Each structure stands twice: as structure tokens, then as C-alpha cells.
Structure 1
């Protein structure tokens, strides 16, 4: 895979209609909202999950495009598999601990011994193997320094911010009815009516904006290459088409605006490039209910930066 030699910054615009884009489990799974401004929020973790799911769907766990953080996964077992593939033996849990004082002093205290160079080299090899096999480790990084089968830490070259709606959103709560009950006892109590009432919360409409960054220097450390970058763009554009559910309503990536720098260090600050992207409501007298209610524009960018528009 060819090495990444250019820095990238990008703006992701996506929307939701009559759905919950990212429920908050600490608030009864209500849509996440900034309590001070009323703007809707979607976490970076939520967006990364959709990218992971897309890659898993497309490549079906193939070597080099497997996913490290996936549903019902056991991370330590994946580390053990990496040790096994390399023919290495994982260090036993607690083997690095040793008393920090002579016998009789500081009972129960322990400190870590400096790791031997051979141990450091083993962890490095396993870390590189994890990067090679797992797309999300290579892309987003991971903390893999578990007590069992330590695989080190990886700082990912691709980072995402929270998505934030361009305008305040309002959570609409709806009563829903299921024409069935779970048990015969419930049916007997209702005299055969067999209705179950529930609640559903949606956002009528929200256009969200998130920002992202791709570092070629960190990409070199994880092995993230041009092929991975192409897959990332494809995932960001198409991820909502493969993540449908009744709770999420209608969601879509509307635009992916990518700023490609001519150099590895970059030719302009990211915030200045992001300021060049504007999405404003066409009519402030009524609440937005569709992407067509917004006008998108991209201003001039500094020399050495190319703008690519994907999605839509």
C-alpha cells in the first residue's frame, strides 16, 4: 500500500429527519443536546462506530481489514491471537511487578520494573501486527496495553470531532403502541386487548457538522496508506446507507469536503480552512426541515490546498 504523503483536513455534513441520531444512555436515550445552546450533538465515537461497521460489512473480517473494536468483542483474546501468529509468548499478568523496598518495609507496595529491551521489542512487534491486521487500529489508534497480552498503544492518524447541528434542535416525544404483550399474564390482565404503550423521541430535522484530520506522520507509524484513505472517504459517504433502524429515521451524508495539502506538514491552519465552509439557512423565518433549506458555499483557500467535494 502506498505511503500517505499529504495532510488532509475535512468537513463532514450529515443530517437526520424524524430520527434520533445519537441517543444518550445517561438521559433515557434522548438525542444528545448542548444544554446551553440547544444544538444537537453526535459523538466522535458514534461516527467511528459507523465507519467500523461499514468496513466490517464490506470486507467481512478479511486480514488487513478486520475490526478490533466490534460488538461483543473480547480484546485480550485478539491480542493473544496476534502473539500466536507471531510465534511469541505473552508476558504473564503481574510479572512486571516487584517490591519497591527491602523486606519488612512498605508492606504491600510494588512498583514496575523497567522493561527489558527484549520485552519492549516483543510489544512493538505485536503492536505492528495489530496495526497490520485491524483497519480501525491503523486508522483511529487504540490503547492495547492490557495486563494480559500487552500490545502497546497506537495514536491514530485519523481523528474526528463531535458532530454539532448548525441550528438548535427540538426533541419531539411520541407515544407508540404495540399490538401485542410479552406474556400470557399480561394478556389476561388486559382482557385480551393486548396493547403495550411506549415512547419514542426524535429530532424533526437537524443538519450536523463534524470536522476531521488526517496526519501523514502518524499514518507512517501505523501503516495507514492511500488505500485506507480511499476506504475511509467511501465509508464516511456511504455509512448511513448501511446503518438503518427505526430509531434513527432518515440519515444521510450530505457533503464531505476534503482539504488536501500539498505537503505533509500542511499549507494552512485547519481552522482557517474550516472557516471557508459555510452552510446557512435560506429562510430564517421558519425552522429547517430539509437539506434544501440550507445554502452551502466554499470560499477561497490558500495556495497549496486543494478542495475535493464528495457525497451529496
Structure 2
């Protein structure tokens, strides 16, 4: 029998503590990649998306170490991944379930100028367009462009915007328009959408755990994930720094006699962050989360900074606390915020400027403990 904190039939609320020393835990692209802060209080912020990315990376690494065709590896694919194409993932669900993706159309490209332009613009075309080679009736190789027919007019307009910005677009415009005209989008079917959604939940860890909107191409519906995270906030204000760095090498020989090339590095000296998470048993039942999924999630949280996230820019990051409140009642036995208030994190009175985890005191209030709630301390200090 699994421990209560890995039981997907229970509600779980948790407190996550992690710190950073001389690093940037989550850069803000709108702020020169400086560490994110609350501009009113200067408390540091780390987004939920940032932590989910690290958890996904851990799951991907764990899955890569498993036998490729094992049952568990099949269930640990990721919908959102680096340089991934979401519509390709949704199309995979339709093909796996034998669902219609539309009436495709294809054209042989015989004009050399059009073909040359296609090679230039194809990286900007939606993934529903495929440029491929096959033999004609005389066994001579020909180049063809195929369109799957899966996008409606609005989706096509949105996804072709980047292609239309290319200077080569004019040469291929008529070819693409003819393909679209000769194709046909599949009829909307709630049954097909539900089948595709079920397949996505069964095969993609992040879909069944975090949820996803899967209607950007073929429609696989929308999944509300049972595991939700908040922004994490530093216990005390932090001071983002933008430091100059130099290098002794130059990129080009002509710059050899110049001064050392100067770059930038952003960081905070130290910050202890506190975030929260919530796991819903009823939603987990809908998406098919298993006890093993939940066990892997806790392992991923504990190891998310250790496995593939180390970098000079992030300094030294570590998970310092993971406190899980598990409820006997799937709907809960106590309000989450009141459980969270039982964990107090305070700077030591003799410390002026915190520079290590030891500069804080963590206390747990165990008086008048609510009935039906179990606390599991996976990491403490």
C-alpha cells in the first residue's frame, strides 16, 4: 500500500522552500533578464511555469533512462517540450486512435523557382504542411508539397503569418492557396475530441498532471490539471545585480588587439523562496493520474535543481523544504491556507542581511492539529 502522500485518491496541499546563492533563479525577459521581483516590495519571484519546466526536464531525463518501449516510458512523454510542435503531438493522438485528420491535398512542385522558394520558407510553414520526395509513374523522383487539411480558416491565417513575412512567400503563395482550396477540414466531432483527449492524458505526463489546451490545430479538447503551482516568493527582499564580465578570447582575429570583450551577468546574492502547490483528487481521476505519477512528481520536485538544471547563471540552487499536507477526505479536511500558516519561516533576529539557509528558522505549529490531515516532510532543512 502506497504512502498517503503518493496516493492519487487523496487531496494534497504542499509548501515548497528553495534557495539560490549567487544566481538568477528566474530571469525576466522584459527586464533585461534580471531576476524577477515584486516592484513594490522587492521580494523575489519565481513563476509556476519556471518550476514546471524544471519538473518536466526531470521527468524527460528519467524517461530517457528507461527502456524505450516500456509501459512507464510510454506514459512519460511530454506535450510541452523544448522546440516541440504542439500540433504534431495532437496529430499523433488522432493517428494513434485512427481518427480522421482531414482530407489532405498535395501538389507536385515542378517550377525550380517555386521549389527553391519552398526550401527557404518551409521552416516557417505550419507542421500541417509537408515537403517530401517520391517517385512518379516513371520512377523518376519528384518533389511534392502536402497539406493535411486539419486547420480551419482562422487557424490557417494565424499560423501562416510568419510564412507570409518571408521574402520568398510571393513565389509559393499560389501553390499553398491551391492546396488549402483542394483540402477539407474534418467535421467537428465531440466523440473524436474526447478520444484524442483520453489518448493525450494516457501518454503525456504533463497533460494529465498539469493540464493543457489542445485545440490549436486538431481538437483534443482542454484538460484541467489536478496539480497546480503558485508563484514562489522570497521570504525577504532581494537586490538584483547586473554585473560586467570579461573574457580573454575574441571571436574574430581582427579584434585581437582590442580590450577584453565585455558581457553581462545577472544575479541575486541570496534568496530563500516559498511557494505552494495543490493536488485535486477528483481532477486526478478525470485525467488518469496514478499513484506512480504522483510519486514521480515528488521525486521530480526534490531533484529538479540537481539533474539537468545546473548552470553558472543559476548559481547554487537547492530544495530546502517540501511539506505535504494530505487529506483523508478527497475534498479536504482543512483549508489550505490555514495549513500553510502552520509553517513559519523567519529570519534569525541577529541576522541583518541573509546569505545562507542557516540564517533562517523554520517552525511548525502542531497544536490543535486538524483531524484527517497527515503531514509528510520529504525534505526538511
Q: TM-score, structure 1 length as denominator?
A: 0.88
**Residues 155-182 of structure 1: CA deviation (Å, up to 9, x unaligned):** 0000000000000011133221111111
Report what 1:7 is aligned to: 11
Please tell me whether the aligned partners of residues 166 and 209 of structure 1 are also in contact (alpha carbons under 8 angstroms): yes
Q: Which runs of 5+ in 2 are unaligned?
A: 103-149, 156-185
Please tell me whether the aligned partners of residues 282 and 295 of structure 1 are also in contact (alpha carbons under 8 angstroms): yes
Give the direction of change, closer, same or farther, for the CA distance of 1:284–1:152 in structure 2 (3 Å limit): farther
**Residues 35-54 of structure 1: CA deviation (Å, up to 9, x unaligned):** 00010000000000000000
Give the direction of change, closer, same or farther, for the CA distance of 1:3–1:175 in structure 2 (3 Å limit): closer
Report what 1:199 is aligned to: 264
Match of 2:358, SS state, is helix
Report 1:300-311 matches (<5 A): 300=366, 301-311=369-379
Distance 1:35 1:201 in 2: 17
Report 1:183-198 matches (<5 A): 183-187=252-256, 190=258, 195-198=260-263
Alignment pair present for 1:90 and 2:160: no
Distance 1:172 1:86 in 2: 52
Report what 2:323 is aligned to: 257
Report what 2:45 is aligned to: 41
Larger radius of gyration: 2
Please tell me whether the aligned partners of residues 34 and 242 of structure 2 are also in contact (alpha carbons under 8 angstroms): no
Please tell me whether the aligned partners of residues 3 and 220 of structure 1 are also in contact (alpha carbons under 8 angstroms): no
Give the direction of change, closer, same or farther, for the CA distance of 1:284–1:169 in structure 2 (3 Å limit): farther
Q: Which runs of 5+ in 1 are unaligned?
A: 98-114
Per the TM alignment, residue 65 of structure 1 is displaced from its structure 2 partner at its CA by 0.3
Please tell me whether the aligned partners of residues 165 and 207 of structure 1 are also in contact (alpha carbons under 8 angstroms): yes
Report the RMSD for the aligned CA atoms in angstroms: 2.1
Report what 2:314 is aligned to: 248
Alignment pair present for 1:299 and 2:369: no
Per the TM alignment, residue 95 of structure 1 is displaced from its structure 2 partner at its CA by 8.0
**Shift >4 Å, 4+ stretches:** none
Aligned residues: 289
Of 276, 297, 307, the residue aligned with 1:211 is 276
Report 1:137-216 matches (<5 A): 137-146=207-216, 148-187=217-256, 190=258, 195-216=260-281
Report what 1:100 is aligned to: none
Match of 1:4, SS state, is coil
Please tell me whether the aligned partners of residues 171 and 201 of structure 1 are also in contact (alpha carbons under 8 angstroms): yes
Distance 1:64 1:306 in 2: 29
Please tell me whether the aligned partners of residues 175 and 200 of structure 1 are also in contact (alpha carbons under 8 angstroms): yes
Q: Which moved more, 1:299-308 or 1:201-210?
A: 299-308
Distance 1:241 1:151 in 2: 34
